[in-house]
Each structure stands twice: as structure tokens, then as C-alpha cells.
Amino acid sequence: MSEYIEKEALRQFPIRKDHYDKENGDEHFIFGIEAVLEYAENLPAADVAPVVHGRWEQIKEWATKAKYRCSVCGREIMSAVKVNIEKYPYCHCGAKMDLEG
Ligand SMILES: [Zn+2]
């Protein structure tokens, strides 16, 4: 499974050529850090979108069924009284339904 990071988080690496212990620091080590960061800066961006998190909110309940609404887009679904979150882990809008109620 691929993992993604934000380039901006990498740019925040605390040891940089203009921010290190110049008395005890190793200049070659600093050049190495700068080379890796430059390499990462030039990598192409992956085609990914941030995960949107939501929850199913129960809006109506009958004896055996209930109506739930996506907290992100408002889409409504019918389900058994207790939504089995494993059965509907995502809404059609793409929201991952993992927020606690
Ligand atoms: Zn939705």
C-alpha cells in the first residue's frame, strides 16, 4: 500500500543549511540533507485527494429500519436500526464514515 506525505511537512525539517549548530555541525551532513530535500522537492506530485471524514447521523427510526444522513453531503440512506459501519464505510460523496457520533 502506498503512503503519501505532504511536501510542506518535509520542508519543515528542523535542520537546514541556514538553521543548524554551525560550531559542532558537520557541513557534509547538512549538504546531504539539502540534497535529499531538493530531490523530494522535484518529485512529481501524486494524484491523491485528502480524506474527508464523516458519520452517519440517524434522522428517523421505525420498528426495524432507520434513515441516516451523511454528515458531509446530506445524502440519506435506509438501513437496519443500527447502521453496520462496515457495510457503509464510505458515502457516495467519498467521505470516510469513521467519525465518532
Ligand atoms: Zn456524503
Whether the CB-CB separation of 77 and 85 falls below 8 Å is answered with: no
**What pLDDT score was predicted for residue 89?**
92
Q: What are 94's three cell numbers?
A: 467519498
How far apart are the CA of 55 and the centre of ligand 1, in A?
9
Q: Report the run of H or E that residue 89 belongs to, with start and end.
A: none
Q: Is 19 helix (H, G, I), strand (E, B) or coil?
A: strand
Residue 89 CA, ligand 1 centroid: distance in Å: 11
Helix runs in 42-81, H state only = none
Taking the whole predicted model, whether its pTM rises above 0.85 is answered as no
66: CA distance to ligand 1 center in Å? 17
Q: Cα(48) to centroid of ligand 1, in Å?
A: 19
Give the single-character DSSP code of 20.
S
pLDDT in tens, 21-72: 888 889 999 999 999 999 999 999 999 988 999 999 989 988 888 899 999 9
Q: 99 vs 81, which has greater pLDDT?
A: 99
pLDDT in the model for residue 64? 86
